[in-house]
Structures are given as C-alpha cells and as structure tokens.
C-alpha cells in the first residue's frame, strides 16, 4: 500500500529561505500581517487533512470510480462526500478567496502549497473543489455585482462548486468551432442549448449546487472565437433567498471512461434550453475563458508537482528496503542476503531525477504564486505589470514542462519498483495513469508550447522574455563574487545567452515561414523550462550554501541534488536547442500520402 507524508520541511525551505515570503508579503497591503507562524500553521493543518482524510480514499476511489444513474445524477466513490463535507467544515475552500465574499484572503503562494498537498493526496478528489476556482476567478473578473452576490459566497464557502464547460466533440482545443447556442429570453436570461464534453466534476453528489460556466454563441455571433460569449448556468436556479431552487435543464448524458482520475466524474453535459445569464460583454467570452483557463493551467501544473512528490516518496521508501543483488563496488550490507537497490547507480539516477524535478518544480510554482500575489496586490503599478508579464510568460511552462516531467517522474517511480510497480497494490501505476492526463487537458502541451513561443515571446518581440532575463541577471549579479556558486551560475548564464540567440534565430525563420515556429515550439518550451529550473536550482543552492556549515544534512542533500540536476538533466537543453534549430523541412517535406 502507498503512503504519503506532506513534505513540510522542503515546503518551508522554499517559502521562507528561498522566497522569504514574510518579507515579500509585508509590501502587499492585504497580506502585510501574515507571518511565518501563520503560514506554517495553515500548511501543517492542511497537511493533516491531506494525509489523513483525502489520501486514504485515493486508491479506493480509483478502483470504484463514479456511477451515473438513469436520471443523470452521479454518485462519487465511497468516502468522497464525507471528505468534502469535512473540507468545507474546516473552511479550506475559502483559503485564498476574497474576504468580501467570505474568503480568508491568504496569498496565492500559500494556496499553491496547499494545492500541491491536495494533489499528492488525491488528484481526482481534489478536482471537485479545485475547479471552482476557475469559476470564482471568472465571475470576480467579469460578473455583475448581482452575479457576484449570488454565486461567490457559495463558491467560496464550498457549498456550491463550479465547472468550466468549454469544448465540444467537433471542436477540441479550437473553441471557435463550438456550436452551443444561447437564445435570448424575455426576462433577460438566455436559453442555452448544446452538448459539452470532457467536463471534469460536471455532475456529482458533493455540493448542493453546481455552477457551470458555459461558452455559447448568440444568434448574431460572428464566426470563430470572436463570436463566443460566456454564460453562468446553475444546476439549480438560485431562488429569492440565494439558495438552490428549481432544477435547470442541464444534465449529465454520460461519464467518460478514461485511463486515470477515475474518482472524478468527467462528463458529457447536455444543455436543453437551460437558463443561463451572460457573464461580461456579448461576443467577448474569450477574455473570460482565458481567466478560467490560466487558473486551470496553473492548477494542472500543481497536480503534477503533487503526483511526482508522492510517487517519489514511495519509490524512495521501496529502494531503501528492497534487497536485490550486491553493489558493483562491493558489499554494502554484509549482514543481509543482498544490498538494498538504492546502492545501484541507475536506481539512484531514477530517484535523483524525481527529486531534482520535484524540488525545482516546487520552487518554481511557489515563486510563480508569489508573482501572482504581486501582480494583484503590489502598490506599484510597474511591479504589478512586470509580474503580470512574468506570470503570462511562464504559465505555459508551469503547465507544459512540469506535467511532462511529472509524468516522467511517476514512470521512473514505477520503474524503481519493477514488477511491484506494475501491479495495482503498490499504487504507483495509478500515479502514472493519473499523471498522463495532465499533459493533455487544459490545452495539450503542444498548445502550451505554441502559446509560449508564438503569443508570449514572438508576439511582443521578446519583451516578456527579457523581463525574466532581467530577473536571472539580478541573481547572477548577486552571486558574481562567490566562487562557491560558479558551478551553478555559469551554466545558468550560458543557457540564458543561448536562449537569447535561439529566440532571435527562430523569430527570423518564422517571419519567412510560420511552420518554423510550429516545428520549434515543443523543444523551445523544454529549453525555457530548463532555464527556469536552472534559475530555481541556483537560488536553492545559494540558500543551502548559507547554511551548509550548520551540519544539517538537509542542506547537504540540497546541494548534491543541485549538482545532479546540472550534471544529468540540464544537458538536455543542448539537445532541445539543436532540435529547435533543425527547422521545419524534415517535418513538412513528406507528402501526407506517404505516411
């Protein structure tokens, strides 16, 4: 059976020793009074919920799955409802929400840390409350005051949950192809008719109401994405007291049968003239959609951080206790019939790959969470704008690079267990199945790569990328006189220069042939991912060096993991640069008939 222990020591290292969040939050008026003790207490209690309530129903929920009944209602696995009730009773849904609507107002960086633990414990269950944040953010940004008053307190408390109903069978990622219609009613509402697919948490028995945010077309809508509008469509229409009232004409037509996250109901949702209300301006639903999608993309990155962490914990425990063969360099435990497999170099490679990717991803995503806090709460308009650009630039990296690595980590963890990883009892094969979807939904990782290179880098002439380059340069200048840091700063500086050169080269090629951008996008994302992780590991190494004389093995391990990253994982960036430079010809010259 698998186990999970919240990695509070490393989480605290990132929050307090890398990011110094207490000092950073003092500059943000809404968070100025939040101190280290408060953050640590929140995460300790959150860790208990994750380990003691959510984690024990992860495997059983995967085996049982969700059940759709003849009336379209859906039952979640045994224990899910009780866990959700406990989650709501403890106030966890309100953690990072606005106090004006009943939220606790804690910073996003703390919310990110909680998300990591929730997803380590039970990704499928965590998606039910997690998807509400996209609906909450969209209504906060674009909802009317009446819509906010009706829906936000219930979403914040967790008594109601939310979904994103975006894609359709014929559309996929190309939302300009959606066909769902919105016909105006005399009372100011709209009749929503159409079918949506792949709707996570679309129907369930956890909350009293489910609030669907639905993309649809008005009768006069222009073609393509310019003709998309957003509507709020509740499962139960709120009554005069703001409680769940009459049943709306929206029903789960089917549950998708999928390879992972079985405990989450991924639904086909049918809208048959359902009552909906316009959110934002007509034909401007794409703007609101991106608020939801970016929330989801950052959340999916946290899903993979969580899965990679719990998979690593279990493969490490196995490697320390599984006896098999003898060390190549001589017997290590003569009193045993064989040595534990952790003595073998390739087992260590698999473990250290997981450790290096998980710890860099944690540092990066918490750094991104703090950037989001600065984007929304910093008193300086320039600081807010700069951090908004950094978050926009790096959101596809959070989603794409981390989920790619997360899948690799879960696969390596399963490999460490050998045959025991392949069978369901160990729990590792579930983590592999669950992690695989993270590379697909909320925009496949190819879409993330195209977004990064096309919309976030080339579209503004590299302005956002240069802002991140400035952040890197500040770190390099800070440690320029420290010889102990050269083994970390030199490769970071070299990669930063190579990224600048590569970006200019791709821009020139893409101006002549747009397929060049498409051919370079995926390897380019991995290059930027390694730039970000190199930055994260330099930052972590500097913090560890400051404490290395303490004798605490934690800091020794941190330095050794940083060295492993630069020795064994960082070199992938060279191969990816070569791939990105290789151009589109080898991909596009073959006629489709020859495949």
On the question of pLDDT at 242 being above 90, the answer is no
Q: What pLDDT score does 173 carry?
A: 81
On the question of pLDDT at 333 being above 90, the answer is yes
Q: Is 135-150+158-283 assigned to CATH 3.90.45.10? A: no
Q: Is 8-65+77-132 assigned to CATH 1.20.120.1200? A: no
What positions carry a catalytic annotation?
442
* Contact between 216 and 269 (Cβ < 8 Å): no
296-300, 356-360, 385-389, 433-437, range with the lowest pLDDT? 296-300
Neighbours of 331 (CB within 10 A): 12
Average pLDDT of the residues in 334-357 = 97
On the question of pLDDT at 356 being above 90, the answer is yes
Q: What pLDDT digit, counting tens, does each position of 532-560 carry?
A: 999 999 999 999 999 999 999 999 999 99
Secondary structure of 155-212 in the HEC alphabet? Answer: HHHCCEEEEEECCCCCCCCCHHHCCCEEEECCCCCEEEEEEEEEEECCCCCCCCEEEE
Which residues on neighbouring strands pair with residue 31, listed in sequence order? none
Q: What pLDDT score does 291 carry?
A: 82
Using N-to-C axis directions, what is the helix angle for 486-512 and 572-581, rounded to 10°?
10
pLDDT confidence tier of residue 442, bands split at 50, 70 and 90: confident
Q: What pLDDT score does 292 carry?
A: 78
**Vertex 368, ends 364 and 370: CA angle to 5°?**
120
Q: State the greatest distance between any 2 C-alpha atoms of the chain, in Å, as a whole number.
A: 84
543-577 in b/e form (b: 16+ CB < 10 A) is: bbbebeeeeeeebeebbebbbbbbeebbeebeebb
Q: What pLDDT score does 495 carry?
A: 98
Task: Give Cα 51 distance to the centre of its chain.
Answer: 20
Average pLDDT of the residues in 42-57 = 98
Q: What pLDDT score does 129 carry?
A: 94
> CA dist 222 to 172, 227, 291, Å?
19, 5, 22
Q: What pLDDT score does 13 carry?
A: 98
Percent of the chain with pLDDT over 90: 94
State whether residue 552 is helix, strand or coil. coil
pLDDT confidence tier of residue 161, bands split at 50, 70 and 90: very high
* Contact between 289 and 216 (Cβ < 8 Å): no
pLDDT confidence tier of residue 503, bands split at 50, 70 and 90: very high
Average pLDDT of the residues in 422-447 = 95
Q: Which two tokens stand for residue 327?
A: 């060390």
On the question of pLDDT at 245 being above 90, the answer is yes
Q: What pLDDT score does 175 carry?
A: 84
On the question of pLDDT at 213 being above 90, the answer is yes
Sign of CA dihedral 250, 255, 260, 263: positive
Across the chain, what does the average pLDDT equal?
A: 96
Stated as kind and residue range, the H or E segment containing 488 is helix 486-512
On the question of pLDDT at 251 being above 90, the answer is yes
Average pLDDT of the residues in 563-591 = 97
Average pLDDT of the residues in 345-370 = 98
Q: What pLDDT score does 189 carry?
A: 96
Residues in CB range of 488: below 8 A, 6 or more apart: 534, 537, 538, 541, 542, 562, 566
pLDDT confidence tier of residue 575, bands split at 50, 70 and 90: very high
On the question of pLDDT at 186 being above 90, the answer is yes
Phi, psi of 509 (to 5 degrees): -65, -45
Q: What pLDDT digit, counting tens, does each position of 266-313 carry?
A: 999 999 999 999 999 999 988 887 887 788 889 999 999 999 999 999
Q: What pLDDT digit, counting tens, does each position of 87-137 carry?
A: 999 999 999 999 999 999 999 999 999 999 999 999 999 999 998 988 999
Q: What pLDDT score does 39 carry?
A: 97
Q: What pLDDT score does 250 carry?
A: 98
């Amino acid at each position: 059976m698998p186990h999970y222990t919240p990695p509070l020591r490393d989480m605290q290292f990132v929050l307090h020793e890398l990011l110094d969040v207490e000092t950073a939050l003092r500059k943000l008026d809404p968070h100025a009074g939040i101190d280290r003790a408060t953050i640590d207490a929140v995460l300790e209690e959150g860790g208990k919920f994750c380990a003691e309530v959510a984690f024990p129903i992860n495997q059983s929920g995967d085996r049982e799955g969700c059940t759709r009944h003849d009336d379209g209602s859906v039952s979640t696995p045994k224990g899910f409802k009780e866990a959700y009730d406990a989650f709501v009773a403890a106030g966890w849904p309100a953690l990072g929400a606005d106090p004006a609507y009943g939220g606790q107002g804690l910073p996003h960086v703390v919310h990110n840390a909680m998300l990591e633990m929730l997803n380590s414990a039970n990704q499928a269950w965590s998606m039910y409350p997690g998807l509400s944040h996209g609906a909450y953010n969209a209504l906060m940004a674009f909802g009317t005051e009446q819509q906010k008053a009706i829906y936000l307190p219930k979403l914040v408390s967790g008594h109601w949950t939310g979904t994103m109903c975006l894609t359709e069978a014929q559309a996929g990622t190309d939302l300009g192809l959606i066909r769902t219609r919105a016909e105006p009613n005399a009372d100011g509402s709209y009749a929503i008719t159409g079918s949506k697919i792949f709707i996570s948490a679309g129907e369930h028995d956890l909350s009293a109401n489910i609030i669907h945010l639905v993309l649809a077309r008005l009768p006069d809508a222009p073609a393509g994405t310019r003709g998309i509008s957003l509507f709020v469509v509740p499962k139960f229409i709120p009554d005069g007291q703001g409680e769940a009232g009459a049943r709306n004409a929206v029903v789960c037509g089917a549950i998708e049968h999928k390879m992972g996250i079985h405990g989450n109901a991924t639904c086909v949702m049918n809208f048959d003239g359902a009552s909906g209300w316009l959110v934002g301006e007509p034909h401007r639903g794409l703007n609101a959609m991106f608020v939801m999608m970016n929330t989801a993309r950052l959340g999916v990155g946290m899903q993979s951080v969580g899965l990679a962490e719990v998979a690593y914990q279990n493969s490490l425990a196995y490697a320390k206790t599984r006896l098999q063969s003898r060390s190549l360099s001589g017997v290590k435990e003569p009193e045993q019939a064989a040595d534990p497999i952790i003595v073998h170099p390739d087992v260590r490679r698999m473990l250290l790959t997981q450790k290096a990717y998980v710890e860099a991803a944690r540092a990066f995503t918490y750094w991104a969470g703090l950037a989001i806090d600065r984007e929304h709460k910093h008193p300086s308009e320039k600081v807010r704008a700069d951090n908004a650009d950094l978050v926009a630039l790096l959101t596809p990296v959070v989603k794409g690079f981390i989920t790619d690595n997360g899948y690799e980590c879960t696969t390596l963890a399963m490999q460490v267990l050998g045959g025991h990883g392949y069978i369901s009892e160990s729990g590792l094969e579930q983590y592999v199945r669950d992690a695989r979807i993270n590379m697909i939904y909320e925009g496949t990782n190819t879409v993330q790569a195209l977004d990064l290179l096309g919309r976030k880098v080339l579209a503004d002439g590299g302005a956002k990328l240069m802002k991140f380059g400035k952040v890197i340069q500040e770190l390099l200048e800070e440690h320029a006189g420290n010889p102990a840091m050269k083994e970390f700063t030199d490769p970071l500086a070299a990669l930063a220069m190579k990224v600048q050169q590569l970006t200019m080269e791709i821009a020139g090629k893409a101006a002549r042939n747009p397929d060049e951008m498409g051919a370079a996008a995926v390897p380019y994302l991995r290059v930027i991912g390694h730039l970000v992780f190199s930055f994260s590991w330099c930052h972590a190494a500097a913090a560890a060096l400051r404490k290395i004389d303490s004798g605490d093995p934690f800091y020794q391990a941190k330095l050794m993991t940083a060295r492993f990253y630069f020795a064994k994982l960082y070199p992938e960036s060279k191969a990816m640069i070569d791939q990105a430079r290789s151009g589109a010809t080898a991909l596009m010259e073959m006629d489709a008939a020859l495949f």
